[in-house]
């Protein structure tokens, strides 16, 4: 159940009010139908959502998906197209744009929008309806080897995600023959550092605030218990 807004600070109330104010512009069909790739005025497009907007409910509501995917993710695509128009970056892949702009102060805005497109696409695929539970096969064995068991992994992953100060991401990353759990701030992404991510949880406030307000730990627990896509992680490990 949502905690009353009166329990939170004025800044939190303003944040939520701002998000809710835009709800009238969302198409009603978009809250239940499967999302498809949206055309954009440029080389980059919004990748399809792998499931209908309401498929992750109640852990993540259709309203949150409507804003998160339909507004935030789309906004990064629109902005990147605007930024790269007429430049050599417009002819490169998203991954190439990220690697070409990472760590360059004069390219920070381009990097942020490109990385956020990639991160969000990876996040949507890290989730699935009726997910969660425990991994199996080679992935389970690798987790046991790296963390001493699934429960130890789960506790460390949840702690890492909850402790990210401000906006960012928690990642399970392949590291040599093993795995590590890491976190990145804002738009930073493992692929900018030559790492191979296996799955992620988005801990920006727009990922959970409509459903959980400031209860980030509850959102993380709900994702781990009900939505994590272990098949996707296993595929990334094997690739």
Whether 14 is covered by a domain: the verdict is: yes
The number of distinct structural domains making up the chain is: 2
pTM of the model: 0.84
Q: Does residue 222 register a pLDDT over 70?
A: yes
Q: How far apart are CA 226 and CA 224, in angstroms?
A: 6
Binding-site positions for Mn(2+): 68, 120, 202, 206
Nearest to 197 by CA among 163, 162, 169: 169
- State which of 58, 91, 126 marks the end of a domain: 126
Question: Are residues 30 and 113 located together in one domain of the fold?
Answer: yes
Residue 36's pLDDT band, with cuts at 50, 70 and 90, is low
**Mean pLDDT score of the chain, rounded to an integer?**
87
Mean pLDDT confidence for 158-176: 97
- pLDDT tens readout for residues 1-14: 333 333 333 333 33
Residue 38's pLDDT band, with cuts at 50, 70 and 90, is low
Q: Does residue 21 register a pLDDT over 90?
A: no
Q: Does residue 109 register a pLDDT over 70?
A: yes
Contact call for residues 56 and 223 (beta carbons, < 8 A): no
Q: Does residue 70 register a pLDDT over 60?
A: yes
- pLDDT tens readout for residues 113-129: 999 999 999 999 999 99
Residue 40's pLDDT band, with cuts at 50, 70 and 90, is low
Mean pLDDT confidence for 171-200: 96
Find the CATH number of the domain harbouring 212: 3.55.40.20
- State which of 75, 107, 126 marks the end of a domain: 126
pLDDT for res 31:
30
Q: Does residue 44 register a pLDDT over 50?
A: yes
Helix, strand, coil percentages, rounded to 5, for the chain: 55, 10, 30
Question: Are residues 94 and 205 located together in one domain of the fold?
Answer: no
Binding-site positions: 68, 120, 202, 206
Domain that holds residue 85: 5-126
Q: How far apart are CA 192 and CA 161, in angstroms?
A: 19
């Amino acid at each position: 159940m949502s905690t009353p807004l009166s329990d939170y600070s004025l800044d939190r109330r303003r944040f939520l009010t701002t998000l809710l104010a835009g709800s009238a512009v969302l198409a009603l069909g978009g809250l239940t139908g499967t999302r498809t790739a949206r055309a954009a005025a440029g080389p980059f497009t919004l990748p399809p959502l792998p499931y209908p907007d309401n498929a992750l409910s109640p852990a993540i509501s259709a309203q949150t998906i409507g804003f998160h995917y339909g507004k935030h993710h789309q906004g990064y695509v629109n902005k990147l197209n605007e930024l790269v128009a007429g430049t050599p970056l417009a002819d490169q892949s998203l991954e190439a744009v990220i690697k070409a702009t990472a760590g360059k102060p004069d390219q920070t805005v381009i990097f942020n929008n490109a990385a956020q497109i990639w991160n969000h696409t990876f996040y949507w695929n890290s989730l699935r309806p009726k997910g969660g539970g425990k991994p199996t096969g080679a992935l389970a064995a690798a987790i046991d080897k790296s963390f001493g068991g699934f429960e130890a992994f789960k506790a460390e992953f949840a702690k890492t995600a909850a402790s990210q100060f401000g906006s960012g991401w928690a990642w399970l990353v392949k590291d040599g023959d093993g795995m590590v759990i890491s976190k990145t701030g804002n738009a930073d992404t493992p692929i900018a550092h030559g790492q191979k991510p296996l799955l992620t949880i988005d801990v920006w406030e727009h990922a959970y605030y409509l459903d959980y307000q400031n209860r980030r730990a509850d959102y993380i627990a709900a994702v781990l218990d009900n939505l994590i896509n272990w098949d996707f992680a296993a595929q990334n490990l094997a690739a």
